[in-house]
Amino acid sequence: MTEQELKKLLASLRTEHRDLDAAIDALSAAGSTDQLQIARLKKRKLRLRDQIAIVEDQLLPDIIA
């Protein structure tokens, strides 16, 4: 992937991560009793965070000091 494509992917992943965070907050604030759905959203959010870290690592050059 080119650097431009990686930056677009990173922006997309960050947006999805932020949206999931808002959804989780909304469900929690509404007093949702569907804990399984909240747990699934949190798990998906964690996977996104890992993907974001991988893309960020690809964008940053490895510099050995």
* Residue-range definition of the domain harbouring residue 47: 3-59
Q: Is the pLDDT confidence value at 2 over 70?
A: yes
- Does 65 reside within a domain? no
pLDDT value, residue 17: 98
For residues 4 and 65, the model is more confident at 4
Q: How far apart are CA 13 and CA 56, in angstroms?
A: 11
- Does 22 reside within a domain? yes
Residues 43-56, mean pLDDT to the nearest whole number: 97
In sequence order, the 6+-apart residues with CB closer than 8 A to the CB of 15 are none
- Does 64 reside within a domain? no
CB 37 within 8 A of CB 58: no
Please count the structural domains in the chain.
1
The pTM of the full predicted model, rounded to 2 decimals, is 0.83
- Express each pLDDT in 3-40 by its tens digit: 999 999 999 999 999 999 999 999 988 887 788 999 99
Q: How far apart are CA 58 and CA 1, in angstroms?
A: 10
